[in-house]
Amino acid sequence: MALTLSNPARRRLRTLGFLSPWLIGFSAFFAYPLIATVYFSFMHYNQIQKPDFVGLRNWKYVFEQMPLFGPALWNTLWLVVVMVALRVVFGLSLGLLITKIKTGAGFFRTAFYLPYLAPPVAATVAFVFLLNPSTGPVNEVLAHVGITGPNWFNDANWAKPSLVMLSLWGIGDLMVIFMAALLDVPKEQYEAAELDGAGAWSKFRYVTWPSITPIVMFAVVTGVVQTMQYYTQALVAGKIASGVSIGPGSVIQPGYPDHSTLTVPQLVYSMGFQNFNTGAACVLSLVLFAIAMAVTMLLMRKRSGLLAAED
Amino acid sequence: MTSTTLSPVPTAAPADASREPGPAAARARRKRVLHWIAVHSVAIAVALLFILPFVFVFLTSVMSDSQAMSGDLWPDSWHWENYKAVFETDGFLDWWKNSLLYAGLGTLLTVCSAIPVAYALAKFRFRGRRTAMILVISTMMLPPQVIVIPMYLVWAQQFHLSGTLWPLIIPMAFGDAYSIFLLRQFLLTIPKEYIESAKVDGCGELRTLLKIIVPMAKPGIAAIALFQFFYCWNDYFGPQIYAAQNPASWTLSYGLESFKSAHSVNWNLTMAATLLVMAPVCIVFFFAQKAFVEGVTLTGVKG
């Protein structure tokens, strides 16, 4: 024992040994591709001929000429703002609700949590069916109460809100996180607030809120980063709703309808793997990377629980 | 998981009740009953909204071809044979096999590689520990699309593995950032004393890890295994990049979409297939609820 602990070189070697899987993984599957992405962003490369240096031409192309970049960036940012805001509000409301339930808490928790587990592709296919304007059960039910339902995934104005609904259906993870945070609020503080005559709102505002802000912050930041990579649901919804009989791998109308569901990650895919414009795809990747990193830095700065319990 | 001590807020102040026993107590009780009714009505309404999609999907999955197109909510007759038809579709069984291979092997490799890394990050003191943690979190936050193009080129051009799931499985032997992070958060909660006393008893680091830490960290390990299994099972982007060219390598999540395209009019079969893709996840959840909820909680709450 004395030997292992007193010898610093050995200790360093031991640390390296334990960390080695991650060190290899980090270099090979993170650092290398990131550097290569920057490299390719300055190259003209169609994945057949040798890469050819073109300076900033890919960057210029993406920001000045690429017809779909504007809509894709707009959709992604729209989803980031609306989806994250609604998810946090709804997740917190469900968390509050579940902590107040006295009978059948287990049942309700499972019911609210289960949709989160549904594989995204399956959930999306199911939602496109449910919200199908002519034969879907949702508009059928709405018709029974005298409401003419919208065209949901087939209407450019309703496609993104439909995706938001799909995402709110899978709110289970946030609900559980908020529930745990809410149960951690010291009860004495509520009692003290009550003695001071605080109503429900004041209790929430002055007792609950201050103690859950780190978790809310965490939910916002991870939500933003997750929505920056929003891909599967948008792509599958667009493809299935368009009703075109096509196999995977071919996007006939990216972001059906009217590019309303086209996101930046989808554009990366179609540039890199369908148009074989590697340079432009890498520029788009780096735009995503820059936004995601900026948000992550913000998270580190705010120290919202992620790096806590360091010692 | 925190045992559900339900209402953190007492509905009536006890001091109040003792001062004015008669009408005040009755008022407090009425308020409590109304509160109970209000909370539970909202909960039931929300629960219905969450469950109804599953119900509609299920009911459609047992309808006849023509009824599934009609917008009817309730099946006229129950066509259980739709499920058989799904299984007899070309490729469906292969998709299951591929999903199980990807998810099973991926989970195993992730767990084996995450344990030592998470342990070192949680319990060793070394220079650069904080930097390492920041790098792990950065990787966790990185959209997969950012690095996919160079990665694809390496796997396709150097290793000639495109058309298989190996480019997705092999990297899992080298640590997955999310699992490392989550397990580290869990390991932080194990007191140092256990490790110290193991050392006093003459255990080396590796023995301490395997004999002391791993058994104590079972709930954390279960959580990362489950999350990784689900991640792989649900993954669409990965299989689309690497397996798309080769239908023999498609997974369930990836194949489901082509299933719909091939059966463009058969919503009943599509819904049956959809439920079959969801089923394993739901079954695993029912057996491992606790590990799940613990894992989710760990991501959001400081270890």
- Which string of DSSP letters, residue by residue, matches B154-170? IIIIIS--TTSSHHHHG
Question: Could B53 and A130 be called an inter-chain contact, meaning their C-beta atoms sit closer than 8 Å?
Answer: yes
State the ipTM, two decimals: 0.89
Q: What is the pLDDT of residues A211-252, one digit of tens each?
A: 898 888 888 888 998 999 999 999 999 988 987 655 454 545
Would the CB atoms of B13 and A195 count as touching at under 8 Å?
A: yes
The mean predicted confidence, pLDDT, of chain A is: 88
Burial pattern A278-301, b for ≥16 Cβ within 10 A else e, equals bbbbbbbbbbbbebbeebbeebbe
What is the pLDDT, as a whole number, of residue B196?
86
Q: Is A290 part of the contact surface with chain B (CB cutoff 8 Å)?
A: no
Residues in B closer than 8 angstroms to A222, CB to CB, are 141
What stretch of H or E contains A215? helix A209-228
Apex A155 CA angle, A152 and A158, nearest 5: 55
A286 to each of A38, A70, A231, B241, how far by Cα in Å? Answer: 7, 16, 16, 19
Partner-chain contact B116 A19, CB within 8 Å = yes
Q: Exposed e or buried b for every residue in A175-191, given b needs 16+ CB within 10 A? A: bbbbbbbbbebeeebbb
- Indicate the DSSP class of residue B247: G
- HEC per residue, A179-197: HHHHHCCCHHHHHHHHHCC
The Cα of A180 is separated from the nearest Cα of chain B by a number of Å equal to 6
The nearest alpha carbon in chain B to A102 belongs to B6
DSSP annotation of B89 reads S
Q: Which residues of A touch B299 (CB under 8 A)?
A: 173, 177
A120·B234 Cβ contact <8 A: yes
Residues A95-121: what's their mean pLDDT? 92
Asked whether the beta carbons of residue A125 and residue B270 sit closer than 8 angstroms, the reply is yes
Residue B250, SS3 per DSSP: coil
Question: Which residues fall within 8 angstroms of residue A268, CB to CB, at 6 or more apart?
Answer: A281, A284, A285, A288, B145, B148, B149
More confident residue, B303 or A145: A145
Residues of A in contact with B116 (CB under 8 A): 17-19, 21
The Cα of B17 is separated from the nearest Cα of chain A by a number of Å equal to: 14
For A30, the token pair is: 């993170």
Q: Which of B7, B233, B258 sits opposite A119 (nearest CB)?
A: B233
Determine the distance in angstroms separating the CA of B293 from the nearest CA of chain A, rounded to an integer: 7
Shortest Cα distance from A85 to chain B (angstroms)?
Answer: 17
Residues lower than pLDDT 50 in chain B: 1-17, 302-303
Mean pLDDT computed over A168-176: 94
Answer yes or no: do A108 and B47 touch at CB < 8 A: yes
Compute the C-alpha angle B185/A172/A127, nearest 5°. Answer: 135
Does B254 contact A248 at a Cβ distance shorter than 8 Å? Answer: yes
Per-residue pLDDT at B21: 61
Contact A215, A177 (CB under 8 A): yes
**What pLDDT does B148 receive?**
94
Percent share of chain A, pLDDT over 90: 65
pLDDT confidence of residue B291: 80
CA separation, residue A79 to residues A66, A262, A296, A307 (Å): 21, 11, 18, 28
pTM: 0.89
Q: Which residues of B touch A310 (CB under 8 A)?
A: 130, 133
Determine the pLDDT at residue B173: 96
Helix (H, G, I), strand (E, B) or coil at A127: helix
Most B-contacting residue of A1, A7, A11, A19 (CB-CB within 10 A), to test interface: A19
Question: Using one digit for the tens of pLDDT, what is the confidence trace for B277-296?
Answer: 999 888 888 888 888 777 77
Cβ contact A140–B134 (<8 Å) = no
Neighbours of B296 (CB within 10 A): 24
Q: Give the model confidence (pLDDT) of A10-65 as tens digits.
A: 888 999 999 999 999 999 999 999 999 999 999 999 988 899 999 999 999 999 99
CA distances from A284 to A61, A72, A250, B73 (A): 11, 10, 20, 44
Residue B12: per-residue pLDDT: 45
Residue type, B195: I
Distance from CA of A161 to the nearest CA of B (A): 17
